[in-house]
Amino acid sequence: MSYTYPTTAPDSASNPQPTDPHGEPSRRDFFIIATGAFAAIGGVLAVWPFIDQMNPDASALALASIDVDISALEPGQSITVMWRGKPVFIRYRTEEEVAAARETPLSDLKDPVARNENLEGAAPATDENRALAGQESLIAMIGICTHLGCVPLGEAGEYNGWFCPCHGSVYDTAGRIRSGPAPENLPIPPLTFVDDTTITIG
């Protein structure tokens, strides 16, 4: 009996060869990986609306505000309150502190911009543009160092303003950066007077 051997190679599509563990992955492996990746992405997209709805919307954040009673403050004293999870320094400055801040030329400042949310545009960092309008002895600012987010110490440093001991940033009594690595003045949040003894932050 004679036997005729096949003269053509096996059809690789109908008879797939096993994947070489040390070689390239087969098309089947690629499709499995791609399908898994698309399923994972689809799962994330499906649950994202539920995660996102837990975040407060912009209007809720815009309305977040606190009223602060400043009736007990006397010249030379300061208090710290929390607003939106951030410390806010409120200081009743002495006449000498106000005078020293006003006599400082803008050319001596590292950051010449007021960083005051109550003013439009890039207003210059004069003491008048940093203090509370109508009560220039009072100043309020977010108490987070603009270098790496530390909380500076009050009534400290070369200018008797604020000093960040972490890396040596020094702010004056108007909250303006004077020396050290911090690049910007302490920011001033939205502020309004409710009456003579109460201010609203936010």
- What is the tens place of the pLDDT at every residue in 33-51? 878 777 778 766 776 666 6
Using the predicted structure, report yes or no on whether residue 75 has a pLDDT greater than 90: yes
CATH of 60-201, one of 3.40.50.300, 2.102.10.10, 3.40.50.80, 3.30.70.1350: 2.102.10.10
Nearest to 106 by CA among 90, 92, 122: 122
Residue 68: count of CB within 10 angstroms of its CB: 18
The predicted model gives 131-145 an average pLDDT of 93
User: Which pLDDT belongs to residue 12?
Assistant: 46
Catalytic residue check, 167: yes
If phi > 0 it is left, if psi is from -120 to 50 it is alpha, else beta; for residue 38 that is alpha
Q: Rounded to 5 degrees, what angle do the CA atoms 74, 78, 79 make?
A: 120
**Better-scored residue on pLDDT, 52 or 122:** 122
pLDDT of 150-185, one tens digit each? 999 999 999 999 999 999 999 999 999 999 999 999
- Residue indicated by tokens 């837990």: 54
Give 53 or 110, the one with higher predicted confidence.
110
Residue of 108, 167, 198, 200 marked active site: 167
pLDDT level of residue 187 (50, 70, 90 thresholds): very high
Question: How many other C-beta atoms can be found within 10 angstroms of the C-beta atom of residue 101?
Answer: 23
pLDDT for the residue numbered 58: 58
For the beta carbon of residue 124, count every other beta carbon within 10 angstroms: 13
The amino acid at residue 14 is S
Q: Which residue has the tokens 């020396």?
A: 179
